[in-house]
Amino acid sequence: MLIKLKISYEKFWIIGLTLLAIFAVGQHFVFAEEDVSPALLKLEGRLIEMSKQDFACGGFRVGVVMKYDELKVLNGKIEGNEIYVAHYCPELTRERYSPRSGRLKQFNLNDRHVMELRLLDDPNALVFDDFKNVERAVYECIKVDLAE
C-alpha cells in the first residue's frame, strides 16, 4: 500500500537539511564543556576579518574562522604575521557558550584579543571558512578575552 504525503517544497527542504545537519555534525552536538585538551599557543592579535556565518549555533557546535594580524606570541611558537582561528558559536558571549571559554562579550573587527589556541585537527568539524583558498593552518580557540 502506497501512502501519499502532502508536504510543501519548503518543508521538505527544511526537514532534509535539518536531518543532514544532524548527521553531518554528529559528535559536534555539544558545547565546549567537553573540551579538555590543553592549549598549545597563547597569543594576542587584532581581529581583521570574519567568515560569513550562514546560521547560528542553536544546539550545534558551529565554528567561524576569523583572521588575525599584529600577532604578539605570549606562549608557544608561530610563523608568520597572520593566523586563522575558529571560534565556536561567536553569536554567543563566551561565558554563555562555556564558562571556561573566556569573558569576551562580542566579536568586533579591529578589537585585540588574547587567545589560547590549539590546532584544529578534526576533519569533521563544522566550520564556516571563507579563507579555504589560502594554504594555512587553522587553530581552534579554547579561551578568548579582550586584550587590555
At 125, is the pLDDT very low, low, confident or very high (cuts 50, 70, 90)? confident
pTM of the predicted structure, to 2 decimals: 0.74
In CATH terms, the fold of domain 32-146 is OB fold (Dihydrolipoamide Acetyltransferase, E2P) (2.40.50)
Q: Which of 148, 143, 64 is nearest to 99 (CA)?
A: 143
Q: What is the pLDDT of residues 12-40, one digit of tens each?
A: 556 655 655 554 444 343 344 444 466 78
Q: What is the pLDDT of residue 62?
A: 87
Q: What is the pLDDT of residue 14?
A: 65
Tell me the average pLDDT of the chain: 82
CA distances, 14 to each of 17, 19, 57, 126 (Å): 5, 9, 16, 18
* Residue predicted with more confidence, 99 or 21: 99
Domain extents for the chain?
A: 32-146
Cβ–Cβ < 8 Å for 65, 128: yes
